[in-house]
Structure 1
C-alpha cells in the first residue's frame, strides 16, 4: 500500500464466496484483500463451469461454485487450494435474500434460503477445513450474518432469511469453540442496510428517507465499510477475537 501503511494480509491466501457482482460486498472484500497483500480465490455460481480458474490481470482466481451443492464446493475448493497453495482465510459471503412473509412462504423457498445461506456456509467451511487446520499463518474464518437475524427480519428479509442468518451466527460461535483449540478463529459480521443491488431502489424514496432518519449515522452503509470490518477479523489485528459478531449497521440496531 502507498504511504508506508502495512499490508494486513501480506502472505495470506484467502477464499471468498459470492464475489462475482462488482457492486456487491463480496467484490469489495476481494478488492480490499488484494490491496492488503492477499492472494485470493473467488467462488461464485455466476462464473462458468468451464472457467479456467486463473488470475485476471493480477486479480483473483475465479472458480464456479454453487455453495448449496456439496460436490460443487469440494471441486471448487480443491482447485482453489491448488491455485493458492493453501488456505489461511475463508470468508463465507455468498447469500440470497427475500422478503416473503410467513403466510405466503412456500416450503421450497424456505429450503432454498437455508440451503444457500446456512447449508452453503457449512458446505464451504467443511471442505476448506483441512487446509485451514494445516495453515501455519494464523487461519481465520469470517461468516456473513445480518442485522435481520438480530432484530427478527423485517424490511427486505423475511422470517426464512432471518432464520438462515441466525443459524450462521450460531454456527460461527460453535466453530469458534470447536476450532479455537486447534488454532483457527471464527467470527461473524452482521451488516445492516448496505447499498448493493439487493437494496438499491427497493424501498422507494419516501421510505428510504424515513429509514435513514432512523439510523444514528443517517445513511446506509457501503460494501467497502463491510469489507473493512471483515479485513479486521481476517487479519492478525483481531488475533485474540473469536466467536464474536461485529455489527456494521450505522447504529440501526443497537443491543
Structure 2
C-alpha cells in the first residue's frame, strides 16, 4: 500500500498517477497538519497501525518552498513533520520517502534549504535497527498546474501576462528543470530499487537561467521585456556544478528542459 502525505501538491498528485487507484491512500491534511508537534508520535503511530501493513511506503510530499517564510515555520513543516513520521513508521516496517533539494549543499544561508538539510542529515544518521528511510534531493519542478508565484517561472509568467519588464541577474546560475511527471516516474524507480539514505534525482542536463529565460520570452514574442543584468549576482549559487545521473534512472525518460518549460509557460499564458 502507498500512502501520500501532501497528495494535493504538485509532486503528490504526480505520484498518485504512478500507482493504481486502489493502491494509494492520500492522508487528509486535517489528519496530518499537527504531526509536526512534539507530542504527535502517538497519533501518527495510531494512524498507521490502523491503516498500514509492514512493507507499505509513505511518501511525505507536504512542505513549504518559500524561503521568505519564518525559519521556525519552515523547520516545523519541512523537518519536524517528516522526522516525526519517520520515527513513528520505521519501527513498524514501513518505508518513509522524503524530499529535499539538490541545493542542500550550496545555498546554506537559505532558511528553506536549511530545513531540508536538517532532514537529510536525520535520514542519513538513522539507526540501523529501523526500517531505512529514503531522502530524495530533487531539482526544480514544472508542470502539474501553475508555478508558485515567488519562483523563477512564476515571476516570468506574471511578466508575460502583464506585459511588464522582467528584471533578473546575468543568469549564469545552472539549474536542472524536471517535468513533475518525469520525476514521479524516477521517484518510483528509486523506491522500487529499494534505494535508501540520501539520493540525488538528477538527469545531468542543466541549463543556465539566462538560456531558459531567453527561450521563454523569445517564444512568446516578448524578448524586449527581459532585462538581463538588472539585478546583482547572487553571492551563493551554483555556477559550475553538473549533477550526475544515477544508473538506477537510466530507463527513465526526461523531457528536454528548455523545450518543456517553453511549452509549459506558453500553455499557461495563453489559457
- TM class, shorter-chain normalised? 0.5 to 0.7
* TM-score of the pair, normalised by structure 2: 0.59
Aligned pairs for 1:1-255 (under 5 A) are 13-21=1-9, 24-34=10-20, 39-45=23-29, 49=30, 63-70=31-38, 74-75=42-43, 78-86=46-54, 88-100=56-68, 109-132=70-93, 140-152=95-107, 159-175=110-126, 178-179=127-128, 184-195=131-142, 197-198=147-148, 199=151, 201-204=153-156, 214-215=174-175, 220-235=177-192, 238-239=193-194, 241-248=195-202, 251-252=205-206, 254-255=242-243
Q: CA deviation at 1:84?
A: 4.0
**Contact (CA 8 Å) 2:6, 2:61: kept in 1 or not?**
yes
Q: CA deviation at 1:98?
A: 1.4
Larger CA Rg, structure 1 vs 2:
2
Other structure's SS at 1:75 match: helix
Counterpart-to-counterpart distance in 1, 2:205 and 2:42? 38
**Contact (CA 8 Å) 1:226, 1:248: kept in 2 or not?**
no
RMSD: 3.4
| Per-residue CA distance 1:191-246 (angstroms, 9 max, x = gap) | 111116434752325579x869944x7xx3122222222212322xx24x432312
Q: CA deviation at 1:32?
A: 0.8
Counterpart-to-counterpart distance in 1, 2:189 and 2:155? 31
**Contact (CA 8 Å) 2:141, 2:178: kept in 1 or not?**
yes
- Residues 169 and 207 (structure 1 numbering): CA distance in 2 closer, same or farther, change over 3 Å? farther
- Residues 151 and 130 (structure 1 numbering): CA distance in 2 closer, same or farther, change over 3 Å? same
Q: CA deviation at 1:128?
A: 1.6
How many residues align structurally?
A: 196
Q: CA deviation at 1:19?
A: 0.9
**Contact (CA 8 Å) 2:137, 2:201: kept in 1 or not?**
yes
**Contact (CA 8 Å) 1:41, 1:84: kept in 2 or not?**
no
Q: CA deviation at 1:122?
A: 0.8
Q: CA deviation at 1:76?
A: 5.3
* TM-score of the pair, normalised by structure 1: 0.63
What is aligned with 1:3?
none
User: Structure 1: where are the runs of 5+ without partners?
Assistant: 1-12, 50-62, 133-138
Counterpart-to-counterpart distance in 2, 1:116 and 1:16? 15
| Per-residue CA distance 1:36-87 (angstroms, 9 max, x = gap) | xx72222242xxx4xxxxxxxxxxxxx5543323556643553344234455
User: Structure 2: where are the runs of 5+ without partners?
Assistant: 158-165, 207-240, 244-271
**Contact (CA 8 Å) 2:48, 2:89: kept in 1 or not?**
no
